[in-house]
Amino acid sequence: EVRLVGSGGDLVQPGGSLRVSCAASGFTFSGFWMHWVRQAPGKGLAWISSINTDGSTTNYADSVKGRFTISRDNAKNTLSLQMNSLRAEDTAVYYCARGGRTFDYWGQGTQVTVSS
C-alpha cells in the first residue's frame, strides 16, 4: 500500500524557518518525481515545488523561490521542504504528492501557521 505521511508542521513567527517532511512507503520512492502542494485556509490548491527522482532537478513556484528548498533522501524514503523567511501568506496545509505529470497519491497534509 502506498503511504505518504507528512510531519513537521508547526506555529512559527514571521521571518522564521521550518522544515516539513514526508515519509514514503509501499513503493520504490527513488523511481518517482515528488511534489509539494499547499492549501491556504478556505482556498484552493497551489503547486509550490517539485523534485526529480535523484534530486538533481528542482522547481519552485515564484511565490516561494529563493525562500524554500525541496530535497529528498532516497535511502531514507523521505521528501523534505525547508522553508525560510516565512510570511503570513505561507500559512497553509502542506501536502506531499507523488508523480510526474499526474499526482496519484497524496499525503494527509501538515499544517504550517505563520503568526506572531
Partner 1 sequence: DIVMTQTPLSLSVIPGQPASISCTSSQSLLYGDGKTYLCWFLQKAGQPPQLLIYEVSKRFSGVPDRFSGTGSGTDFTLRISRVEAEDVGVYYCMQGLLLPHTFGGGTKVEIK
Chain contacts with partner 1 (rule: CB under 8 A): 35, 44-47, 50, 59, 61-62, 95, 100-109
Of 29 and 106, which CB lies nearer to partner 1 in the complex structure? 106
- The residue (of 9 and 47) whose beta carbon lies closer to partner 1 is 47
Question: Which is it for strands 92-98 and 105-106: parallel, antiparallel or unpaired?
Answer: antiparallel
Shortest Å distance, C-beta 18 to partner 1 = 20
Q: 64-71: long-range contacts at Cβ-Cβ below 8 A with a sequence spacing of 24 or more?
A: 64/90, 70/34, 70/36
CB of 88 to partner 1, least distance (A): 22
- The minimum distance between CB 92 and partner 1, in angstroms, equals 13
